[in-house]
Amino acid sequence: IENPEFEKAKLEQVRAWKAERVATARFFSSKESKISPLLAGYQVEEGDKIRNDQKHVEDPSKRSVQIIDQAKKHLAPPDPGLDRARRAFAGNFEGWANVQLTPKFANKIPAVDGIRMSDAYELYSQWSGYPEAVAPIPGKLALYNAAWMASFDAAKPVTIADVMAAKAPGCKVKDKARFFYFQPPRVTEGKQSITDLLIVACGQAAERDGYYGFGSAQLLQYDQNGRLVALYDSGSVTVLSWSDEGKLSGGKRLRNTGSFLRTSSLMPRAR
């Protein structure tokens, strides 16, 4: 018996897409667009198709380690943050603390060509067939720069394991993901800049035969200027580059499509 909520959810996705496009047009014609690190649109070029000889594993952290190892070979030049990300996933983020994240403004990421607004369930399903550069899954524009956020110790901390198992508070809400944030262990007291930020999401997703709890994770890395330079999940690695004016100017992505790995490049859309 098909779940009517499943069909309803698909219709809501179409409506949301149309609303996003209208909101984007309004955003880029307003004064608020000046704060955006994104251009009005990008173009994407498919790159190499590489046979994937690695054994399939179900554990999302191990899958992330696999794609990071491949990124070292196929994303040139290799980013030094790859090693840091690999250690974090391989160690299951041991010692990372749950934090409360406060953005300095509430704007959502505008829907622009070339940037994929992945959702939390899509990461959970390990589907990464698209070539576009992935965006931070909470959809907050402030996540593109660490200077636009402040983090504090969570008042009621949760564990990464509980969120991934959809057991944390708020994980039982249907069709709406809940996001939790984690940072590496502090090395000094007091305020620290954000260099690595783990986003762990949970929720209840509609399938044809009912609702299922899920959990997924995305790791963000920032450079010394606070700019978002890399995003990692269980199926892809995306590295970003920036202009001197503080605009996202390009990027490269490696994704696991099953039997093959695919590379793609992001660049400003030709006018």
pLDDT tens, residue by residue, 237-255: 999 999 999 999 999 999 9
> CA 197 to CA 212: how far, in whole Å?
26
Contact 223, 80 (CB under 8 A): no
Least reliable range by pLDDT among 39-53, 123-137, 252-266: 123-137
User: What pLDDT score was predicted for residue 201?
Assistant: 96
pLDDT(155) > 80: yes
pLDDT tens, residue by residue, 10-44: 677 667 666 676 666 676 666 667 788 999 889 99
User: What pLDDT score was predicted for residue 42?
Assistant: 95
Query: How many other CB atoms are there within 10 angstroms of residue 131's CB atom?
Result: 18
Nearest to 136 by CA among 199, 86, 184: 199
What value does the mean pLDDT take over residues 95-114?
92
User: What pLDDT score was predicted for residue 122?
Assistant: 84
